[in-house]
Amino acid sequence: MSDQKVIAFFPEAAFGPALNSVGIAQACEKLGHKAVFLSDPGMGGVYAGYDFEEHMVNMSEPMPAEEMAKYWSDFINGHIPNFAKSPYEQIDTYVKECWEAIVDTSKWAEKDLPGVLAKVKPDLICVDNVILFPAIKRYSQETGAPWVRIISCSENEIEDPDIPPHLSGCGENDKACFEAYRSRFHEVVKPIHDDFNAFLAECGVEQYELGEFFEASPHLNLLLYPEPVKFTRRNALDPARFQYLEGCVRQDEAYEIPPFKSNNDKPLVYVSYGSLGSGDVDLLKRVITALADMPVRALVNVGDYQDAYDDIPDNCHIEPWYPQPSVIEQVDCVIHHGGNNSFTECLYFGKPAIIMPYVWDGHDNATRVQETGHGFKMHRYDWSNDDLRSKVDAMLNDGAMKSKLAATSTHMQGQHGPSKAADLLNGLLA
């Protein structure tokens, strides 16, 4: 097409943001544009698998892909003792270490990114991350090519005085929680933030206020958060710059439910703590034990730790990986960690969820699923078998919850997030 434009997608090096960007990129190509991906080498091959051109940008010290995967697995597993802590307590441990690592990714990317942008010459750049990459802002200023921010986690990444701080897990009306979390977060991250601001100054980019590591795009911001659970803000987001994509649920391969040794006519539960959270083997074994005596079936995602499981109950089936959207569509309820894909996919398909968060915006999503009546929040470890069973029973039988989920699902499925995003990007290019 004579008006074909090059759209570069630069998602965080994690499968959730990556696959959401793939869905949007596919919709953009249907409109006649060319989508390419800027990728950390650790995600190399993921986008090529969908027939997209890949351009590598090192976001950490270069190492083989298998070593990179092990690094992040070890990072998460090393923090398992911190998963029992409150979001406030995690500021001094997990959150602090994460922001140190995230700032390093921006510094590393600055080595490769200017050259990659000069080579690709994108007409539009879509960034899904929590930190600014100075080269993208400079490229936009120098060429006039707009950049778009995709917010694939909780919408409170875009802050407001009347909504809970990002990662805090505070209730919507718990203002004392807001203040305590923000105060401690600013205190702990200040040295990291000062270092980041010094880096921005070296790059010739405007510095940020304490606590801010990224900004809303002046052109367009796409929030994957669904409108039925969005927060009430003091400062409303301008729809000319901020648009909700209703989960932007990705398509995945079909999945056929396997036969079970027992309970084949009973409700189906899906259990997953994500690819990294599956290292918490003892917790997953507790969940399996609790479900073993219930009149249900359970599909349990155990990640790379399948060999750690033996004596699987007859009503349970374990796998290292499931095509999650295809599975959630077919189950009756879900137990998960609160990752944004799991959170939005349950809402999209109208499935109640128990969220047992451990880190990052899982805390925010767990609080939100309960206070909006779409499921339950449970502590990661402080529960009994009876606690879990009673909440599973409620998910399967609570009529009010089912009605709310049905309405939310109808709303979300009435809009196709990837197509909506592609139309908005096309309009920006025009």
Specify the CATH number for the domain of residue 55: 3.40.50.2000
Strands of 67-204 (E only): list them.
Answer: 124-128, 147-151
Considering the domain architecture, whether residues 159 and 301 belong to the same structural domain is answered as no
Considering the domain architecture, whether residues 284 and 221 belong to the same structural domain is answered as no
Considering the domain architecture, whether residues 70 and 188 belong to the same structural domain is answered as yes
Residue 255 domain-assigned?
no
Residue 262 domain-assigned?
no
**Number of separate domains in the chain:** 2
Considering the domain architecture, whether residues 241 and 351 belong to the same structural domain is answered as no
- Given this model, what pLDDT does residue 352 score? 98
Considering the domain architecture, whether residues 362 and 423 belong to the same structural domain is answered as no
- Given this model, what pLDDT does residue 1 score? 44
Residue 254 domain-assigned?
no
pLDDT tens readout for residues 237-289: 999 999 999 877 777 789 999 999 999 999 999 999 987 788 899 999 999 99
Considering the domain architecture, whether residues 324 and 183 belong to the same structural domain is answered as no
Residue 37 pairs in a beta bridge with 9, 54
- Given this model, what pLDDT does residue 30 score? 95
H or E element that contains 417:
helix 417-429
For the chain, the C-alpha Rg in angstroms (whole number) is 21
Considering the domain architecture, whether residues 240 and 276 belong to the same structural domain is answered as no
pLDDT above 90: residue 6: yes
Considering the domain architecture, whether residues 283 and 208 belong to the same structural domain is answered as no
Considering the domain architecture, whether residues 344 and 204 belong to the same structural domain is answered as no
Angle made by CA atoms 328, 334, 340, in degrees to the nearest 5: 75
pTM of the prediction? 0.92
The domain in which residue 349 lies consists of 268-413
Task: Report DSSP letters for 366-397, one per residue.
Answer: HHHHHHTTSEEE--SS---HHHHHHHHHHHHH
- Given this model, what pLDDT does residue 238 score? 96
Considering the domain architecture, whether residues 141 and 228 belong to the same structural domain is answered as yes
Considering the domain architecture, whether residues 72 and 220 belong to the same structural domain is answered as yes
Cα–Cα dist 230/347, whole Å: 12
Taking CA atoms, 154 is separated from 157, 168, 169, 247, in Å, by: 6, 11, 11, 11
Average pLDDT over residues 205-214: 96
Would you say how long the chain is, in residues? 430
The two three-digit tokens of residue 273, written as one number: 């703590």
Instruction: Identify whether the C-beta of residue 132 lies closer than 8 Å to the C-beta of residue 106.
Output: yes
10: phi then psi, degrees, rounded to nearest 5: -130, 80
